[in-house]
Amino acid sequence: MSDHVILTADDHRDLRIRTERAPELGDAVMTCITVPSEFRRVQTHYPILFQLDQTRDTFIALAMFGFEPGENLFLTDAGWDARYRPLAIDSQPFLVGRGAGDVRQVHIDMTSPRIGAGEGTRVFDDTGRPTPYLERIADQLRALDTDYVASADFFAALRRYELLEPLTMDVTLDDGSKNRLVGYHVIDEDRLVALDGVAVADLHASGHMMPIFMALASLGNIGDLVARKNRRTARG
């Protein structure tokens, strides 16, 4: 169970964070949230899928690491096998909290296995000032929070032009086993191509066309993900 508290120098002067990547540190996840502003970097390695939150009737974007819950095919004995990690996972165990007047604050999950017992990277120095590590985390959280809020316009545009279609994908591995992806959406490329000039101009002027193209391009990474799954399955 999570225990989110405000990060302060007084309470967390000696806090250390383990920054290596491993399943036991919380990295064994199938997906994580991503935001349109980082789609260009995310699509280099990961498929980008969309998922509808039925309760809120809103979409979120997800970077995909595996085919089943708890599976991250980018984790190896040497760490994370990709040059870029999405902001939402790279900034853990920190998160954005809100104080009085909706002021953004840096919070930390005190139950996270990343909190080191005398080992790891310091968050504050001996004088109580943020270390370069914490400054980088704060920049990541600021970008993630700002871009997550701004992404509402992006998803509204996708729905306005009916550019999302449900995805059902069956993946057959070399050993004959099957994985099925359901419950996700992708960009409807045929509908995108069929948009009239007014719609295209609207998407371009709003800055939505580039992340749309990046999300489409990212689907080419599914083949790489299947290859990773085959290699892992072959190793047993």
Please report, rounded to a whole number, the percentage of residues in the chain having pLDDT higher than 70: 99
pLDDT at 3 > cutoff 80: yes
What's the pLDDT score for residue 235? 82
- Which pair of tokens denotes residue 43? 């699509």
Mean pLDDT in residue range 25-30: 96
Residue 1 has pLDDT above 70, yes or no: no
Q: What is the pLDDT of residues 45-82, one digit of tens each?
A: 999 999 998 888 899 999 999 999 999 999 999 999 99
The sheet with strand 4-6 has its strands ordered as: 4-6, 104-109, 94-98
pLDDT at residue number 234: 86
Angle between helices 197-205 and 209-218 (to 10 degrees): 90
Mean pLDDT of 160-173: 92
pLDDT at 100 > cutoff 80: no
More confident residue, 213 or 180: 213
CA distances from 90 to 17, 133, 138, 173, 188 (A): 12, 12, 11, 30, 30
Residue type, 63: A
Count other Cβ atoms within 10 Å, centred on residue 2. 10
Q: Is the pLDDT of residue 206 over 90?
A: yes
User: Chain centroid to CA 178: how far?
Assistant: 25
pLDDT value of position 185: 97
**236 has pLDDT over 80:** no
pLDDT at 177: 87
Per-residue pLDDT, averaged over 131-136, amounts to: 97
Report, as an integer, the average pLDDT of 154-181.
92
Q: Is the pLDDT of residue 215 over 70?
A: yes
Q: Give the residue with greater pLDDT, 183 vs 54.
A: 183
CA distance 233 to 66: 13
73 vs 236, higher pLDDT: 73
Tell me, rounded to whole angstroms, the distance of Cα 102 from its chain centroid: 24
> Mapping DSSP to helix (H, G, I), strand (E, B) and coil, where does residue 31 land?
strand
